Structure 1
Amino acid sequence: MEKQWPQMIIAMKGHPGTGKSTLSRAISTCLQFPLIDKDDIRDNTLSLQSQYQIPPSTLNDLSYLVLWQITETQLQLGLSVVIDSPHSRRANLNKLVELARAYGAHVVIVECRPKDEREWRRRLEERARSGGDKGHKPATWEEMGRIMEGYNGCWDYEIEDVKKIVVDTTARDEQEKLVNMVIDFIKSSIVV
């Protein structure tokens, strides 16, 4: 079977409630790349957190270690992947870049940055009301503010030679239009 795309990691980036998961699922479906969602891993550690009193930061770190191992396995198989994770710290992206280099893959960042803060807030709080936050994501806009303060600006870091597209996930564009915009960006950024 002939590959249409070079091997790559599409790394979603953005804060909770910005539409990363929705967009990452659509991109993964369109390109037929496996989706690796950090929240799938983190959600399964919540019982450890309460049962053994393990600090949330430790379980978050563990979730990243598992995410990177699953990513490496997919790369070993010659597959491309979509990674759904905030990538709020440069060290997380560094690890993906290191993995990509080890397997000759490209890294592309798709940053979900909502311009409409009211819509972002509505989505975040609606997810919490509907029970979709699993207990480790911010449930209120105030919690989101505390997380942003805790980042102390480190989430907006330089990415050097990694290709990046920023999309407004609160724009009234249809999901299909956003996916096509990302795919067009990848085609123009990476020799296919």
Structure 2
Amino acid sequence: MEKTENSRAPLIILMKGHPGTGKSTIAAVISAALRCPLIDKDDIRDATLCLSSAANSTALNNLSYDAMWRVVSTQIKLGLSVVVDSPLSHRRHLESALHIAGESHRVLIVECVPSDEAEWRRRLELRGAEEEGVGHKPATWQDIERLLVGYDGCTEYDVGEIPKLIVDTTALDGVLFSVFEFIETYCGDHQS
């Protein structure tokens, strides 16, 4: 089916936040409710685990992002909105999404930030125990602390005019309502 002149460009919903903050949980709900693809950087990164070593971990992570953005671009070209689940830890990742969105600028950011560090730690370590430390995701609080030191503040950057909602994911009650209200406010005519 051809796009009509009045149809809106697809929407890119970017999840942002550190590991274990609830991004994937919220991303899955958004994707299911909007009936649009969920593209998770970790799915791609996990596919490279057999190639991983300390020496090439950064290169494989960069490759994972490149592959993710290519998949996002394909979905957008097909006219599908997408939910992108990644930490969005560097400004260059946002720039990649904006490049894909083109002139439509139909990009939203949902940032997950738990206000209760103890609860965040509990969730992260529970996930690490359930997955038995398999994969590249931080499995302990010490892993998160090392990751945050490695980020050296790069995760805090100006997103300009891009609509952004910061949600406290300590308790998910009410968070989803806020997220869908945010999406509706900026893209009430959304159709995937």
- The alpha carbon displacement at 1:179 in A equals 2.3
Q: Are the counterparts in 1 of residues 11 and 107 from structure 2 also a CA contact under 8 Å?
A: yes
Deviation string, structure 1 residues 6-65 (Cα, Å, up to 9, x no partner): 511000000000010011000100111100000000001000125xx7611110000000
Structure 1 residue ranges, 4+ long, deviating more than 3 angstroms after superposition: 1-6
Corresponding position: 1:66 with 2:67: yes
Q: What TM-score does the superposition give when structure 1 sets the normalisation length?
A: 0.90
Please, which of 175, 178, 182 is the counterpart of residue 181 of structure 1? 178
Corresponding residue SS for 2:84:
strand
Q: What TM-score does the superposition give when structure 2 sets the normalisation length?
A: 0.90
In the other structure, the counterpart of 1:21 is: 24
Amino acid paired to 2:139: A
* Larger mean Cα displacement after TM superposition, 86-95 or 41-50: 41-50
Q: Give the total of aligned pairs.
A: 186
Name the CA distance, whole Å, in 1 between partners of 2:159 and 2:10. 20
- The alpha carbon displacement at 1:142 in A equals 1.2
Once superposed, what is the RMSD of the aligned Cα atoms? 2.1
> Residues 82-101 of structure 1 correspond to what in structure 2 (within 5 A)?
82-101=83-102
Distance 1:79 1:109, change over 3 A: same
* Larger mean Cα displacement after TM superposition, 137-146 or 63-72: 137-146
Deviation string, structure 1 residues 116-170 (Cα, Å, up to 9, x no partner): 1001000110011011753211111111011101111110110001110011111
Distance 1:78 1:165, change over 3 A: same
State, as a whole percentage, how many aligned pairs show the same letter. 49
Deviation string, structure 1 residues 78-136 (Cα, Å, up to 9, x no partner): 0000000000011011100111116x350000000010100100011001101175321
Distance 1:96 1:70, change over 3 A: same
Corresponding position: 1:11 with 2:8: no
Name the CA distance, whole Å, in 1 between partners of 2:112 and 2:7. 25
- The alpha carbon displacement at 1:189 in A equals 2.3
Name the CA distance, whole Å, in 1 between partners of 2:88 and 2:133. 18
Name the CA distance, whole Å, in 2 between partners of 1:39 and 1:57. 14
Name the CA distance, whole Å, in 1 between partners of 2:172 and 2:178. 14
Amino acid paired to 2:23: K
In the other structure, the counterpart of 2:82 is: 81
- The alpha carbon displacement at 1:191 in A equals 5.5
Please, which of 27, 32, 39 is the counterpart of residue 42 of structure 2? 39
